[in-house]
A and B are shown apart, each in its own frame.
Chain A
Amino acid sequence: MSTDKESDEGSGSTSIAGQAFLNPPELDALLHMVLALAGEVASLRARLDTHERLNEAAGGWGNTEVDAYVPSAEIARQRAALTDELVAQVTSPIKMIFPGDDHDR
């Protein structure tokens, strides 16, 4: 039978950082990486916002001008190339597992 003594002892692990919740435990690590990345995205977005607001306060362009900005066709092409490269990098582990049949062409 369980008693209150059970909670005196708590979990068996002495290392909090190493405790596993999900199965497989690598999912805990993956979840943490995603949350940590989200934290950096939030912080970066706030930094961009700070730049826009400081610039606007100094008489320059701000939030509104950034939102209204439409890149020219050439700039849009350059950005799309950068995005393609990013997508390729992010998905590269999948390409390593499933290389595809490019070599047959």
Chain B
Amino acid sequence: MTAENASTHAMMVRPGHDAREREQFFLSLRGWINGFAEEVVKPRIRSHARDADIPVDVPAAPGQRFEVRRACETDPAYLLWGSMWASSQKLLWNYVGQSVEAQHEKLRQAFRDRQGRVGSLRLSPEMQLPRYLTAKDVHAMPGGYALDRGDDDLRAGAMYDRGGALFQLQANGGVMNDGRGHTMVAFLQDAFAVTSPRRILDLGCTVGNSTVALAQHFPDAEVHAVDASPAMLRYAHARAEALGVPIHFSQQNAEHTDFEDGSFDLVVSHVMLHETSRQALPRILAECHRLLKPGGVMAHLEVPYRYQDMLIDDVIIRDWQSYHNGEPFWGGCCTADFAGLLTTAGFDDQRIGFQPSTRDPADPNRGRFCSTGEPNFRYWFVAGGRRLD
């Protein structure tokens, strides 16, 4: 695995010689840490589960993970793995942060030069970020989504884009970070036969990486995207402009946007819900319902971990994110009852399951939406429904 592929864009920071090698070191180190989790930590987790009479060969009840996790918290191998994972994450952001700092002036100038050529950007400086985005540094990225030093700061977006590309190199379409967007389009085709939506909204768009893929698939649509973080949005806008893709970005809270009732044919999100909270999730679904025209489709793409279908050793490894990587609602989202939540929000014609990852929704040989999948990034969990009334 290497840190570069052919496809990139003008706003992606370019690491120099040493920064590129440091990134490569991160990838090698993370590969080793993941191997250690598989070979050393997982057998110990199974042993702790057996000690507590919790099943290890079939999925355990999701609530049983808390007892196993408590036992793990005194296990030297689990703790060493955790320390190394957290340390490697810190190195990742240090490495990416150095490249971003060195190139920030150039990125800021590109943002200023290209503003509003094909799309638009509307910021709301008075807006308060929701607490779930400020309480912790999401993904342990220094400053998190809230990082904004003013004067057209783009650091948070530039770091997230480069860091995400590295972090999920094989899983999300390489440097373009657009695998989730393409996979969403495949889901919309498979599950709802969506062909030509006229007005699309992407919630929690961060750097607009998935939004761009959507907009490219539906070139006749008017595409809007919201996020709470101003630095993400400045970068997202400059990124979309650099790619020549018209998207209208605005700084808004996905729980209550200022768009009119019934004004969208399609409302989507990509790995946003697990960054929110148990209280926010139903509010976001209700907002999606309010925004959709009758017959419109809501679709959310999430990490492919449904704890009720997974073995306890894998659950404990994945659930680590809830506690130590600034993702406090990760476990809550991976155990949420989406069928119930969608019903409460008023959605019919529900499709909840797994979408095989794809970079080309038009590929006749790609995998199709199915009710079951695997807990790895060859799949994404998807949940959608149609507003009928």
Contacts and interface: CB of A to CB of B under 8 A. Distances in A.
Contact of A4 (B25, B29, B326, B331): B331
The contact size tier of chain B is 35 or more
Interface in A16-40: 16-17, 19, 21-23, 27-28, 31-32, 35-36, 38-40
B323 A2 contact: no
Contacts of B90: 17, 32
B319 interface: yes
Contacts of A50: 17
B63 A32 contact: no
A8 B84 contact: no
B21 A47 contact: yes
A35 B136 CA distance: 24
B298 to A, nearest CB: 23
Chain A interface: which size bin?
20 to 34
A35 B278 contact: no
A21 B80 contact: yes
Contacts of B330: 7
B66 interface: yes
B335 interface: yes
Nearest to B323: A11
Contacts of A36: 91, 94
A5 interface: yes
Contacts of B142: 17
A2 B63 contact: yes
Contacts of A31: 80, 83-84, 87
Interface string B91-117: 100110000000000000000000000
A70 B79 CA distance: 45
Contacts of A7: 66, 319, 322-323, 328-332, 335
B140 interface: yes
Given A17-B140, A22-B79, A46 B21 contact: yes
Contacts of B24: 42, 46
Contacts of A42: 21-22, 24-25, 28
Contact of A8 (B21, B91, B329): B329
A10 B136 contact: yes
B329 A35 contact: no
A32 B87 contact: yes
Determine which residue in A2, A38, A50 has the highest number of CB atoms from chain B within 10 A of its CB, and name it: A2
B82 interface: yes
A2 B54 CA distance: 15
Contacts of B67: 2
Contacts of A38: 25, 29
B137 interface: yes
A3 interface: yes
B83 A6 contact: no
Nearest to B82: A21
Nearest to B33: A35
Contact of A19 (B26, B62, B63, B86): B86
A22 B75 CA distance: 10
Interface in B249-273: none
A64 interface: no
Given A4-B331, A8-B328, A47-B17, A28 B87 contact: yes
Contacts of B52: none
Given A4-B335, A7-B331, A43-B18, A14 B136 contact: yes
A31 B142 CA distance: 20
Interface of A: 2-11, 14-17, 19, 21-23, 27-28, 31-32, 35-36, 38-40, 42-44, 46-47, 50
Interface of B: 17-18, 21-22, 24-26, 28-29, 62-63, 66-67, 79-80, 82-84, 86-91, 94-95, 135-137, 140, 142, 277-278, 319, 322-332, 335
Q: Which 3 A-B pairs have the closest CB atoms?
A: A7-B331, A10-B328, A2-B66
